[in-house]
Amino acid sequence: MTARTLRDLCAIEGLKVGTFVCEFNSPGIGYILKNGGCDYVFLDMEHSGFDVATLKTLLRYFEAAQLPAFVRPAGKDYYAMARALDVGAEGLILPMVASADEARAIVDMTKYEPMGSRGVALSIAHDHYQPGDVMEKLSDANSRTTIFPLIETADGIANVEEIAAVDGVDGLWLGHFDLSCSLGIPGQFDHPDFIDGVARTVAAAKRHGKKLGRVVANVEEGAAEYANGFDFIAVSGDCWLLQSAMTQASSELRSKCEGIDHG
């Protein structure tokens, strides 16, 4: 896939493969994931130790590898969202969006005039420190900025149709663990209430022409969710992928070496 922006990816039909980044801020992480087949990354600030300074550095690593990044801020207040965008986030995944009013407020806070009320700072990280016409820069930023509310609460499911209909919302991201907890069925992803919530989210996104994303644990789950209608599939995450690969390698090595006599 040759697309280089989240906006490009949203315009493409078919599977977009990514992964969840919450642990590693190595300078090589962008190239490692890009050369591993990722089309994008989900960069998390909610459950990681990443602060804004770390985020700003990480985004440069991903830009160098031409790997677009969604950022989940630690919250959805104005300053959490605006600072993530100002340091160069192309798109935001916003936690626990529960209503259309909340989605509209998010769009307003993340878009510049005339689409919203985001505070203006130009010729900084988000526009690559380039000079230029003010209105062109505002328009470019509005076009570039991609918004995915996280549907991960019972209220979010109840209002998912209205959330998906909000102008400026580009897609919906399913938060499966939090959704199961909010529904009172922690971790029961085969429970009828959870299955119904997912089905309502998929239907709302399809009805309003919005993209769908979620994190999956493995390839088999990813293929099943792609068949279910999700096109942004984030396969596991940085620390879990490393641990899984190491677990498999160490187990296989121990098995192959068992019984070998060194004399």
Residue 262 annotated in active site: no
CA dihedral 234, 162, 73, 228 (to 10 degrees): -10
Both tokens assigned to 33: 């994931």
Which amino acid is it at 180?
S
Per the residue annotation, which of 47, 176, 208, 262 is the catalytic one? Answer: 47
> Nearest-CA neighbor of 147 among 83, 89, 64?
89
Q: Is the peptide bond before 192 cis (omega within 30 degrees of 0)?
A: no
What are the φ/ψ torsions at residue 138 (nearest 5 degrees)?
-65, -45
Phi, psi dihedrals of residue 66, rounded to the nearest 5°? 55, 45
Residue 30 class from Cβ within 10 Å (0-12 exposed, 13-18 middle, 19+ buried)?
A: buried
Active site positions, annotated: 47
